[in-house]
Amino acid sequence: MSELNVILEEIGLTQKESEVYLALLKLGEETASRISEIAELNRITTYTILKSLSEKGFCSSYDKNNVQYFKPIKPEQILGLLEEKKKKIKAILPMLKQQELVSEEKPEVSIFQGKKGMATIMTILLNDAEKKKEVLGYGNVSLSEKIIQYQSLYWRKTRLEKKIYMRAVSDSMGDIEHRSPPEWKKLTQLRTNNEFSKLNVYVIITENLVGEFILAGELFAVLKKNKDLADKERYNFEKMWKNAK
């Protein structure tokens, strides 16, 4: 699955919807039969997906010579759809806050499944890191890059855009440094510990959160929300940092 498919899914499309939308972009405007050929789906399934895309605002339809044609929205118009969703969410935030239970700050542990779940945790961690502009990490980076793929790349791009500094102890620097943009070098410092190559885990630490990514078997990640726990992880990290090369 391409990076385009992954991002389209993250903004609300299903896998098949993203495939049909990309096929429609290539064609410009076409019948469901022709679109189904490009997307490699049967016509009935394609028609159902096109109807769903139309309801989500990603395409429109019109009749020509008694034949129905479908036309995609332009890529830049997707931003408009997201802005509209953002406005709707802002409008209901006060009502959502009223539903939220008011309680004392207490430790929270959440488990997220698969790559999408990992991407969700990455976003939460970056949001928490914005105040201090720092994030720490340790573990098997090589395996993390291989398993998480596009989600990891998107996280790195977003971190650089937010100008969040990162220190990490990894199994190997690999070619990350060579294929990363100049701003990455300004906002990143890596040290190595070869023993981490034996782990199937990568850990990210922010001011209040600890994210643990399990990179073997059924992929999942654990998000722990507790400042004392995060402080303990930072203490352990500093000892690893001193001993790393």
Of the residues 59, 76, 93, which one is the last residue of a structural domain?
76
Contact 153, 10 (CB under 8 A): no
pLDDT at 137: 92
In which element (H, E) is residue 95 found?
Answer: helix 78-99
Judgement on whether residues 44 and 116 belong to the same structural domain of the protein: no
Residue 216 lies in a domain: yes
Q: Between 1 and 148, where is the model more confident?
A: 148
Cβ within 8 Å of residue 54, ≥6 positions away: 60, 61, 70
Label residue 210 exposed, middle or buried (CB < 10 Å: 0-12, 13-18, 19+): buried
Among 27, 55, 76, identify where a domain stops.
Answer: 76
Q: Quick check: 71 pLDDT over 80? A: yes
- Residue 101 is assigned to a structural domain of this protein: no
Question: Do 71 and 156 lie in a common domain?
Answer: no
- Give the count of beta carbons closer than 10 Å to the beta carbon of residue 165: 15
For helices 3-10 and 114-129, the axis angle rounded to 10 degrees is 70
Q: Is a pLDDT exceeding 70 seen at residue 106?
A: no
Residue 97 domain flag: no
Identify the domain containing residue 71 by its residue range. Answer: 3-76
Asked whether residue 12 falls in the same domain as residue 117, the answer is no
Instruction: Say whether both 51 and 7 belong to one domain.
Output: yes
Are 62 and 166 within one domain? no
How does the average pLDDT of the chain come out, rounded? Answer: 86
Whether residue 5 contacts residue 19, with contact meaning beta carbons closer than 8 Å, is answered with: yes
The mean pLDDT value for 154-175 works out to 84
Both 137 and 47 in a single domain?
no
What does the pLDDT read at residue 49?
Answer: 94
pLDDT band at 79 (very low <50, low <70, confident <90, very high): confident
Name the nearest CA neighbour of 245 among 197, 193, 199: 193
Domain count, the chain: 2
Q: Does residue 120 belong to any structural domain of this protein?
A: yes
pLDDT > 90? residue 84: no
pLDDT digits (tens, 9 = 90+) for 25-70: 999 889 999 999 998 999 999 999 999 999 999 999 999 888 999 9
* CATH number of the domain within which 13 lies: 1.10.10.10
For 64, phi then psi, to 5°, come to -135, 120
Q: With respect to residue 83, please indicate whether it lies within any of the assigned structural domains.
A: no
Is residue 89 included in any domain, yes or no?
A: no
Of 40-54, 104-118, 186-200, where does the model show the most confidence?
40-54
206 plus 143 within the same structural domain = yes
Q: What would the mean pLDDT of 221-231 be, rounded to a whole number?
A: 92
Structural domain includes residue 154: yes
- Write the CATH number for 218: 3.30.870.10
Residue 69 lies in a domain: yes
Instruction: Examine the domain organization and report whether 58 and 119 are in the same domain.
Output: no
Same domain, 112 and 62: no
Same domain, 234 and 118: yes
Over 80: is that where the pLDDT of 149 sits? no
Q: Are residues 67 and 129 in the same domain?
A: no
pLDDT tens for each residue of 172-183? 765 565 556 678
pLDDT at 104: 46
- Say yes or no: 126 and 176 in one domain: yes
